[in-house]
Structure 1
Amino acid sequence: MIASYDRLAALGDGRKLIAMTENGPIPDPDLVEAYGAGWRWFCTWEGDFLTDGKKNSLEHLVRVYNHERVVTLDELPDWSKYGK
């Protein structure tokens, strides 16, 4: 995925956030860091694609969603308090 990231980074010329959206397998945060890919977020498909164990094993999901470099929805602030 580093080649894809590098192409996108070049297109944005350092001025755009780069996200991995509608991706299949969830990226490994350790590999993302090792390769220097600055993906700002990922958003994989849901349902069986996510949970059937074929593309994303349960072991991988647990490790990724508990990784120190991954922010999950429950860790975000309550945005309803802002902007009213």
Structure 2
Amino acid sequence: DISKINDPESAEYKAMIADIDYVSGLLKELQADKVPVIWRPLHEAAGGWFWWGAKGAAPCKKLFQVMYDRMVNHHKLNNLIWVWTREPNDDAWYPGDQYVDIVGRDIYKQGDHGSQVTEFTAMNALYGSKKMVAISECGSMPDVTNLTKDAAAWSWFMPWYGDFTRNSMHNSLDLWKKMFASSYVITLDEMPSLKNQ
């Protein structure tokens, strides 16, 4: 019960802290190997379909803040890039600028390979001067032609797994090839190594 996040003596609170501590131990192994991690906990919270969003904004926001504090200040993790996944009209859910590095948006519009410029513009109006914005999950990815035409410079996009990556109903092989061949898109082989920094 996430509403127990405000009761450090509760069994639920202690279980959440134990889970955070366990995951922190795994993340420390990556930190020791100098591996940065895009950390996107509690995604799609305002949708209400996950336990962390089921009791409303206040306990979810508090859990994000407690998790951040426990991982960063208690466990001294410094290899995490913290991503908050925004839902429409969820301002009350935002954990706060000091807890978030990047703001993402999950967009599932089957067969729509548009740039999602309306979402991009709205996200930049809210966060663009302070945070990078990304399509943190999508079904049908944007077509690079539309991204450049609309100047929708999302930091990244990530098609969900399974059929979203293999089924041409969502993303054709030709679209994948076009996207990754474009000079507008930076692929892993074009990135400098971040492991030895």
Q: TM-score range by the shorter chain?
A: 0.7 to 0.9
The equivalent position to 2:134 in structure 1, one of 11, 15, 19, is: 19
Q: Which amino acid aligns with 2:182?
A: H
Q: Which residue of 2 aligns with 1:72?
A: 187
Identity of aligned residues (%): 30
TM-score between both structures, scaled by the size of structure 1: 0.85
Displacement of 1:17 in angstroms is 0.9
Q: Pick from 129, 139, 163: which aligns with 1:48?
A: 163
How much is the aligned-residue C-alpha RMSD, in angstroms? 1.4
* Runs of 4+ more than 4 Å apart: none
The structure with the largest alpha-carbon Rg is 2
Structure 1: gaps of 5 or more residues: none
Letter in 2 for 1:6: T
How far did 1:13 drift?
5.0
**5+ residue gaps in structure 2?**
1-115
Matched residue type, 2:127: G
Q: Which residue pairs with 2:117 in the alignment?
A: 2
- Of structures 1 and 2, the one with the larger relative CO (CA 8 A, separation 6+) is 1
Higher strand share: 2
Q: Whole-Å Cα distance in 2 between the matches of residues 13 and 41 of structure 1?
A: 14
- The two structures have a TM-score, normalised by structure 2, of 0.39
Q: 1:7 to 1:48 in 2, by over 3 A?
A: same
Aligned length: 82
